[in-house]
Structures are given as structure tokens and as C-alpha cells.
Amino acid sequence: MRAVLFDLDGTLIDSAPDLAAAANAMRGRRGLPALPYARLRPHASSGARGLLRAAFDAEPGQDRYAALRDEFIAVYAGLMLERTALFPGVSELLLRLDAAALAWGIVTNKALRLAEPLAASLGLLAPGRVLVGGDSTPHFKPHPAPLLEAARRMGCDPAGCVYVGDDLRDIAAGRAAGMAAFAASWGYLGEGAEIGAWGADAILARPIELLNWLELA
């Protein structure tokens, strides 16, 4: 493998506390009680779409959805740096990849206006580091276009890349891009997820386990 690409939310960073707080802040504005964190966390990988479904039973295509989505993004942008942090073990993993001179980057469905300051605040950006967001190509994951764009920017053949993510769409995107696809079982996974049925090349219990598959351990 010549490069590793990571999903952001639920894979590198634990952003669920701030995403859940944004959803509950919106409920509070409407006089609704806060939902338990455990109920909201599984939806965090789906961003606004997942949180609005859990908090308001709102779906894309509904008349009210666009306004709720815009409100959610505005609320979240104001608090997204409060409790979000790297998952345990991620920092060590990335340091080991850097020490081995193995290129790595990020491919997320999060819009760049949110992903860039968030990644920068957690030390995930550096000169030349690839970050492909949800508005970097005309398509979102599970379409392979964002992953292929990241490989292009890194000058890597997709077949020489591995993509790590915590959602079924991450594995589907990796497969469609011709990359190895690893499931991050420490992530959010989605409600009722059966990670063993995703068709991942490997299921990682901890970030550092990736080194074994890359023969860097």
C-alpha cells in the first residue's frame, strides 16, 4: 500500500458529542426535551441528515428539511470545537504512518467549510495533506468520486490505497474506487449496523491494528 485514506467523523475524530449537542439545542428552541446521547450517537456519521432524522424524524425531500438542515449546520458550526477530539489511538497511528513515510489523507462527506477548521484544530492538516470534503466533487460517498479525487491528488494508483471508515457507505465507496476497504469498529457504525456483513477487507478493533495490515507493526 502506498497511501491510507480515512473517513473523518467516527473514524479519526469523535465529533458525536458536538453533533448531538447541536441537535438537542434545536430541540430546546422548540420546547422539546433533549434526547439521550446514546440515542443520537449512532447517527453521527451521517451528519446533519442522520441527526435530523433522529431528532425530528426529518428526511431529505420533505418540505421542512432544507430549513432544518441549514439551521443545524449553523448551530453546529458554533460549537463543533467544544468537545470533539481524536479517538484514542489515532494520534499514535498517524505518527507511525508519518514515521514510515506512508502518505495519508482524509475523505469525508462533511463540507469543507466545516471539515477544514475542524481538522486543522486537531492537528490533522499539514502542507500537502489531502482533505477531500463533501463539496470537493459532484458526488458524496458511497460514490467513489471523492476517494478517486484524493488518490489523484496524492499521485497514487487507487489500487495502492486503503480506505478506513465506520459506515457501510465508506466500505462501498472504497470497493467502488478499487481500494482496500477497512471498517473502523470503534466508530458510530449506524443504528442496527451489522458490520460483519459490510464486505470489508478487515474489521479493525483499534486504530493501531491498521499497522499490522500495512506490515508496519
Catalytic positions, written as ranges: 7
C-alpha cell at 165: 471508515
- Is 167 within 8 Å of 185 (Cβ atoms)? no
CA distance 151 to 145: 10
- Based on DSSP, count helices (H) and strands (E) in the chain, helices before strands: 9, 8
Going by C-alpha positions, the residue among 143, 84, 153, 155 that lies closest to residue 115 is 84
With beta carbons less than 8 A apart as the criterion, state whether 161 and 3 touch. yes
Are 62 and 53 contacting, i.e. CB atoms less than 8 angstroms apart?
no
Interstrand relation of 13-14 and 85-86 (parallel, antiparallel or unpaired) = antiparallel
